[in-house]
Amino acid sequence: MTEDNGHYRAFEDIKFQKATLDLIGVANVIIQDYEQRGYSLTLRQLYYQFVSRNLLPNRQQSYDRLGKIISNGRLAGLISWTAIEDRGRNLRGLQTYSHPAQAVEAARDGYRRSLWDDQQWRPEVWVEKEALVGVVGGICNKMRVDFFACKGYNSQSEQWRAGARFAEYIRKGQRPIVFHLGDHDPSGIDMTRDNRDRLSMFAGVPINVQRIALNMDQIEEINPPPNPAKSNDSRFEAYQLEHGDSSWELDALDPDYIAALIKKNIETICDKDVWDASLLREVEEKDQISYAIETLED
């Protein structure tokens, strides 16, 4: 895998020890598995795959070492440059077109009816970490549900915007609900409470915020690798009394497990008959756009 095809381009001639080459080989197997299932990996997710396979001890030095190995493996052309995502560092800009016809065709191809407008519930999925947006986004897009990375405790301005958004849904007769996913640690647990309290304050009515991961029953079921809970966290003592000294990260869960969990919770509030009727309208409206394009071309 050292050919210069863009994805495996070598920039440096690096000599690796056999143990390091073995780790690179395992990394490529894990990366290929994720790609075949339609997921991209962050370094953190790759690291937890090594930990769960007992190939690396769960400590900061191991994470730092793996990061260095992946970096050198890419430079040597042994690991694809597209294999690991660095979410949050992306080129941004306006969508542009070479011809007006492209814009009209893009509008048709990208048209999606808001399938939740006629539903009783109005869900959103919030996840603590931006690194998991790729996992959460895949299933949320399929279910036409908006999703959001809080990046820890949500900012006051974003919480206010969400409160205003939910108040508007309520005014239209819908019931907003947030499905929240976060780490099982002193602050990660408290973030669910914080979201519920501040959203309710800004919306002016109680907002339903359901924590769907990571919960203790899931930890007992899956047995993800533990970490020491941060004793310098102001919420540590209360957490320790209930859960002990260990904590667990959401990143350690298999993406398929997270996606299935989100799908299951969304389906419990979705009226299938209303959903199917909205989908049918979407098809009809796309046909109308196609007809408009044909008329313009004529």
User: Would you state the pLDDT for residue 93?
Assistant: 83
Convert the pLDDT of each residue in 76-135 to its tens digit: 999 999 888 876 666 678 888 887 777 778 888 888 999 999 999 999 999 999 889 989
Residue with tokens 């260095």: 68
- With a CB cutoff of 8 Å and minimum separation 6, the contacts of 143 are 262, 263, 266, 270
pTM for the complete prediction? Answer: 0.83
Residues of the chain with CATH 3.40.1360.10: 120-270
Distance, first Cα to last Cα, the chain: 50
Which CATH topology does 120-270 take? Dna Topoisomerase Vi A Subunit; Chain: A, domain 2 (3.40.1360)
- Nearest 10 degrees: CA dihedral of 257, 263, 266, 272? -160
Average pLDDT over residues 249-274: 96
Distance (Å, whole) CA 150 – CA 62? 27
CB 225 within 8 A of CB 252: yes
Indicate the pLDDT class of residue 5, thresholds 50, 70 and 90: low
Q: Which of 52-61, 109-118, 237-246 has the highest mean pLDDT?
A: 237-246
User: Would you state the pLDDT for residue 297?
Assistant: 63
